[in-house]
Structure 1
């Protein structure tokens, strides 16, 4: 087998082991949402219609960082993913597709990835992207992003020549391209000088290769970006975050609007062309001319235990909580209607043919308060107050879920307190093992087990040798049979160890005006690279 055919075969094999989930996408009201197994719909022809030059996009939570390697989702990702790009990006089926990479060779043993870079790609400062920038960016990403560090360990990205970078692994990694594609702790490429000058708390210059370049960030108010005139588009059709991007908006303002009612009312007045909507507001826009309603996968919800806390370093106390949970009530309190949630014991979504597993499902949604009380007695729980960490941002969903869990735990004898912060402060507090015990929140769609943040020692402090060993086994498996066996073993043990208790999966309604063309959503994250706003 020649080198090209061998590389292609291995990449196809590894890609087949990656989560294939078709998130609801939308390219305007004249274009149907993309779904698994379907080709991307043809773009609506609007070339004969004038377009607006500016667009305002409402962010539902504060932006804590614009450092892509440190970003953990939400508003951060909505901005970052339109400024920065990576070697790979997910399409609508969450398959990794080359973006800044031209192609990739994989060695026969699956341990060496050789990335051939697209040439002539310009950063927003005018510099051409070369291997030194890619290696510096990805080595920093690997050191800063917990999931990447956990997967790649001491492996490094090495310069081969100006347009080639190699990654040499100690074992095959079936999640390598998925790791490079994921939106959390995004593996963005930036100039080497930006990497070299980065402060410990993050980069100080926001320079990428994306269709929009950074202009201004006024904390807690707005972030302005503008069209990058020298953007070099990838050639394939737009699909998810992959493919062609031809920005037609000259200026884009991301405005911070944390209050759900304010965002919705601003949509009604025409200030925004796109908004998330809750159940109470749905009747005001449903069936209205010129407005399309879509339902998109949002996130899975989990209860994260602080394994360093005095209470939940004790496994029996974690078991008591898990035994008490009635997840239906928690999900209903979060999204207000059964139409927007689904029960699921797996850490992966049900349509994830490769990584979905029902192992350990007998420990899900137990709803047994009496047994939970017995476990508390066995643990010797002394009445110490447990602290819930939450935020009222994001429409209050995290907060509402937390209150339902709080009531369920007080019912079995826990003494509790809820500490509420703005979203950015909550993220900072979450990294401090000394200030919280339980965190209930949503997580961006995972594509492989290695992307489950709460399996890492730095997130909820899951420092467990067996969990780490099983996680490594799941990523080093190559054949479908080996992947299934390793994944079942991982999820079975995860329910025994209880880094988290899975609550369920949620969806969100969005309203989109007809004049907004070209918008694509990935679990709530916007690809604005092809957006156009028609003038009425």
Structure 2
């Protein structure tokens, strides 16, 4: 590990200056550039590109419950959907919403009316031109289905003004509308109206978007195959994060399911994959390979979510007991195996998100106080009931974190059982109030508090009037001063109410073969547009 740390320190200056390692060499083969944390940009060189490969196999670490972008929650779904679909807006590398399928927009002086002007000539994969009727059908469905959007949009609707103009009228001003339209989980993806109209309870029946790749085949538990969309119309601005210019530089991408860490790494060593997330134990096998680049990215945060409808954790005292015993560093070390890959953080936002970062209520964070926890259990009347911990082994981080939590709970006399499911089933169980007590897992960090699922009544069942009031207040604030004050009040109350407990932020290492050029990632999710694969 010493060698790797020295290399990271030695290269920190040029990493930050170039802003992107694996990431975005655009259409050329001239050097790559790296950014740790938030995303990447492309760099072009003058060297002629090597002969390009036409196919890319990309490993997925989670099973795929659905390819409906309005329903999907997991990173694997987002990885696929980002390449098939587009939204009106997309995040750049600073988490700022940038117009994408929207050409421009206006907001009324009172902040209640949004007018979106659409790009013209954008085609769906079925050859139909995207128009306002498709946008309104897609977004009205999305806002009714996506937990992240429901609290912001309420009963407001998107309406057609003309073929290339859409209007949204809100009952009150909101500061998160564009951010909601940019997030890739519960993606506000635009699909043809007829696809939306034909969707059933299980989701859409066809996967048609406007993205650089079009859907070809989904072979369950094996792969999803997409191919280059020849009529894709890119935005004429520089690529940045998930925004700006996109171009399919390979003909076919196979998103290949490879949930077992050891098998996935063996496949990478064998040359089946050119990109892979790797654990610390595997670093010695690749860190000195001149044909492989290592990237350290700020990936997700980890949160413990309570089921507030469970008999045990509807009782605040029991939630407080868990908060008191939590040793965040031990859990994070169990997830990452090294202090190099985590940081303590009491805020539900990254420190880099200066608009929404807050330390209010942080005295309740990382208490590591077993004696206090035992007293709180006694006050709550805990009598040896079993606490059900919901998890999956499809990615090791869920399970390893849960094992660490189990040890801490049992150290204060709490009886536990770990219920393990495949990833898709775990998501189904998580929506069932009778199926679990605590869920511990990674969350792709949102850009606004309204995107925090665990503050929502449908996710962990945080049905609390004051929490809803404070969340609404934070979302309605307009000036920077009002936003900061409302956000501090919200986070301070969340640390009192305990819908969830923040554990910390997690980094990850990725290994990328040097024949991969132009790959972009943002909060750990890759965007394969602009990615070239040269022949080995």
Q: Give the match for residue 436 of structure 1.
A: 436
Whole-Å separation in 1 of the counterparts to 2:479 and 2:170:
18
- Which range is displaced more, 178-187 or 260-269? 260-269
5 Å matches for 1:380-399? 380-394=381-395, 396-399=396-399
Match of 1:63 in 2: 64
Match of 1:176 in 2: 177
* Aligned equivalent of 1:27, options 18, 24, 27: 24
Distance 2:371 2:85 in 1: 51
Q: CA deviation at 1:90?
A: 0.5
Cα distance, 1:49 vs structure 2: 2.4
Instruction: Report the TM-score when normalising by structure 1.
Output: 0.94
**SS of alignment partner, residue 319 of structure 2:** helix
Q: SS of 1:121's equivalent?
A: coil
- Aligned-pair CA distance for 1:42: 2.4
**In 2 relative to 1, CA 297–35 (structure 1 residues): closer, same or farther, beyond 3 Å?**
closer
Counterpart CA distance in 1 for 2:49 and 2:462 is 56
Query: Residues of 2 paired with 1:515 and 1:45: CA distance?
Result: 17
Aligned equivalent of 2:86: 85
Deviations 1:65-87 (A, max 9, x none): 10101111211111011000000
Superposition map of 1:293-304 within 5 A: 293-304=294-305
The structural deviation recorded for 1:340 is 0.3
> For the Cα contact (< 8 Å) 1:31–1:44, is it kept in 2?
no
Give the Cα–Cα distance (whole angstroms) in 1 for the partners of residues 45 and 434 of structure 2.
Answer: 53
Q: TM-score, normalised on structure 2?
A: 0.94
CA distance in 2, matches of 1:37, 1:77: 16
* Structure 1 residue 45 displacement after superposition: 5.2
Deviation, 1:25, is 6.8
CA distance in 1, matches of 2:376, 2:242: 46
Q: Counterparts of 1:308-323 in structure 2 under 5 Å? A: 308-323=309-324
For residue 23 of structure 1, report the CA deviation from its aligned partner. 9.1
Contact 1:25 1:522 in 2 (8 A): no
Structure 1 residue 201: deviation in Å? Answer: 1.6
Shift of 1:24: 7.7
Q: Quick one: distance in 1 between partners of 2:200 and 2:47?
A: 44
Contact kept? 2:24, 2:32, Cα under 8 Å: yes
**Partner deviation per Cα, 1:139-180 (whole Å, 9 max, x = no partner):** 000000011011110011011100000111111111111110
CA–CA distance in structure 2, aligned partners of residues 45 and 164 of structure 1: 41
Residue pairs, 1:54-453, within 5 angstroms = 54-394=55-395, 396-453=396-453
User: Which ranges in structure 2 are unaligned for 5 or more consecutive residues?
Assistant: 1-18
Question: Offset at 1:535?
Answer: 1.2
Distance 2:336 2:215 in 1: 34
- Partner Cα distance (2:44, 2:391) in 1: 41
**For the Cα contact (< 8 Å) 1:34–1:41, is it kept in 2?**
no
Check conservation: 1:23, 1:523, Cα contact below 8 A. Answer: no
* Cα separation, partners in 2 of 1:46 and 1:113, compared to 1, 3 Å: farther
Distance in structure 1 (CA, Å) of the matches to 2:454 and 2:330:
23
Classify 1:48/1:330 alpha carbon distance in 2 versus 1 (closer, same or farther; 3 Å): closer
What secondary structure does 2:329 align onto?
Answer: helix
Using the TM superposition, give the Cα deviation of residue 43 of structure 1 relative to its aligned residue in structure 2, in angstroms: 2.8
The alpha-carbon deviation at position 27 of structure 1 amounts to 2.4
3-state SS, counterpart of residue 389 of structure 1? strand
Alignment-derived partner of residue 8 in structure 2: none
Matched residue SS, 1:245? coil
Residue of structure 2 equivalent to 1:6: none
Q: Say if 2:310 and 2:436, in contact at 8 Å, map to a contact too.
A: yes
**Counterparts of 1:71 and 1:36, CA distance in 2:** 23
Q: CA deviation at 1:430?
A: 0.4
CA distance in 1, matches of 2:44, 2:270: 27
| Alignment check: 8 A CA contact 1:301 1:441 kept | yes
Q: 1:300 to 1:23 in 2, by over 3 A?
A: farther
Does the 8 Å contact 2:306/2:319 carry over to 1?
Answer: yes
**Kept after mapping to 1: 8 A contact 2:516/2:534:** yes
- Cα 1:23–1:386 shift into 2, 3 Å: farther
1:433-512 aligned within 5 A:
433-512=433-512
Structure 1 residue 35: Cα displacement = 6.7
Alpha-carbon distance between aligned partners in 2 of 1:379 and 1:210, rounded to the nearest angstrom: 53
Equivalent pairs, count:
514
**Matching residue of 1:11:** none
The gaps in structure 1 that reach 5 residues or longer are: 1-21
1:181 counterpart SS class: coil
SS in 1 for 2:181: helix
CA distance in 1, matches of 2:227, 2:420: 35
Asked if residue 534 in structure 1 is aligned to residue 529 in structure 2, the reply is: no
Shift of 1:46: 6.3
